[in-house]
Amino acid sequence: MVINYQPNFVDYPEHVTKQPPYYEFVAMIALLWSLVAFATDAVLPSFPAIGSEFGLLDINNTQLVIIVFVAGTGIGQLIMGPLSDSFGRKPITILGVILFVLASGWSFFTDSFYGLLLSRFVQGLGISAPRTVTQALIRDLYKGRDMARVISLSMMLFVLVPAVAPFIGQTIMLSLGWRFIFVSFQIVALVALVWFMVRQPETHPPDQRIKFRTANIAKSVVEVFSFPRVIICTISLALGLTCIFSYLVSAQQIYVIWLDTGHDFPLYFAIVALISGSASFLNAALVLRLGMWALSTFGYFAICLLSLACSFIIITGNLPIHWLLWLFIAWSASMFFLLGLCLANLNALALEPMGRIAGMAASIIGAVSTLICVVLSIPIGQLFDGTGLPLILGVALCSAGAFIANLTLKLKRFSLNPT
């Protein structure tokens, strides 16, 4: 599909005239965002090796390698967004990537499981900067459905990275050892950092910055939470993210233990990612015509129905293992595809009315939704019982809750103005 599109820019300062071309900008943002997916998914095949090296008695505890990383990104967003409102988007993004690179080196050298968890948490703190601050950067340049389209196209690589990340991680683990996975994080992060430093100008000029004071931050928090639309979108986002991260922490065990895929786990994971990645293209094509709310609401409704249907088939069907495998793959691809219609649009819906405090707003929205996601993902992951049912039913429940939240947003007809 060829997309012929020239975005409508908002008015922005004169020094942003050296902004890179539209599709280079999208690709650069996508690479920065993809660091989150890469740092999450590349370690999945190493769970057994990590558990064995550190002598973990409960294999479910290896899920903490993902959980603490995600928690770090959530807490980090509360810090990095306000800093970007005070000191600019570019320096805070650079600082975060450097912190991620250093923490990845720590993960390589650590000699304890608790040290690994702590270094992973710091990785999350660092990578929260490009993930959060670049959303505010996008808001500095675009508005409305144009903003949603940029986010949607940028999320394409974020979604597609899981197609190759587990394979890369497994290849590195089998040839060099699981610790060298963290070296690959450093290499990709440094490439993204140099590109961003050379090509992206600052979009938040000094005369629009908010001094980093507790009173100013508190005032911004009150302003953000004065929009019921933002609160509801954040809840809906949190439930959608719970679907994703519950899947990620359970995926290795489901594919290897329940579905008996062995070393082919990355292959099936890639199939799911490649199919679902096309959702961002579809969303970019449809969002200008149908709108952000309609696409996200439909997505959650369809996920709930498909999850309930899949659970019913598994419980009553008594299917052979190869049929279970392809049923689970079909459900997984459908879920991620539909979430591609939800998350970018909900982010745009939430950020649109934020204006000059976009950095703080992105931080609050990202942090709250991520931390809620962490709290909900832990029990879903720990409920793994040798089958995929706890995950599928958990996704059904979360998507139903998000669908109801979206309906509330529409039925109450919340405007862009604070109440």
What tens digit of pLDDT does each residue of 109-134 get? 999 999 999 999 999 999 999 988 88
- Please report which confidence band the pLDDT of residue 276 belongs to, taking 50, 70 and 90 as the band edges: confident
pTM for the full predicted model: 0.82
Instruction: Check: CB of residue 372 under 8 Å from CB of residue 238.
Output: yes
Instruction: Check: CB of residue 110 under 8 Å from CB of residue 119.
Output: yes
Quick check: 206 pLDDT over 60?
yes
For residue 316, give both structure tokens. Answer: 């009553």
Mean pLDDT over 208-223 rounds to: 76
- Which among 87, 195, 184 is positioned nearest to 133, based on CA atoms? 87
Helix, strand, coil tally for the chain in percent (to 5): 85, 0, 15
**Residue 9 per-residue DSSP state:** P
Instruction: Check: CB of residue 22 under 8 Å from CB of residue 153.
Output: no
- Which among 370, 369, 158, 366 is positioned nearest to 280, based on CA atoms? 158
For residue 353, give both structure tokens. Answer: 């009315």
pLDDT digits (tens, 9 = 90+) for 142-198: 776 677 777 767 766 666 787 789 999 999 999 999 999 999 999 999 999 999 999
Helix (H) or strand (E) holding 194: helix 181-199
Radius of gyration, CA atoms only, the chain: 21
CA 267 to chain centre: 21
The sign one gets for the Cα dihedral 4, 289, 272, 195 is positive
Mean pLDDT over 43-67 rounds to: 90
**Helix 64-87 and helix 358-382: axis angle, to 10°?**
170
- Per-residue pLDDT, 192: 95
Quick check: 267 pLDDT over 50?
yes
Mean pLDDT over 226-247 rounds to: 90
Q: How many CA atoms lie within 13 A of 321 on its CB side?
A: 10
For 82, counting Cβ atoms within 10 Å of its Cβ (0-12 exposed, 13-18 middle, 19+ buried), the class is: buried
CB atoms within 10 A of CB 269: 27
- Which among 403, 399, 250, 263 is positioned nearest to 328, based on CA atoms? 250
Tell me the three state secondary structure of residue 211: coil
Instruction: Check: CB of residue 247 under 8 Å from CB of residue 311.
Output: no
Q: Which of 163-172, 306-315, 359-368 has the lowest mean pLDDT?
A: 359-368
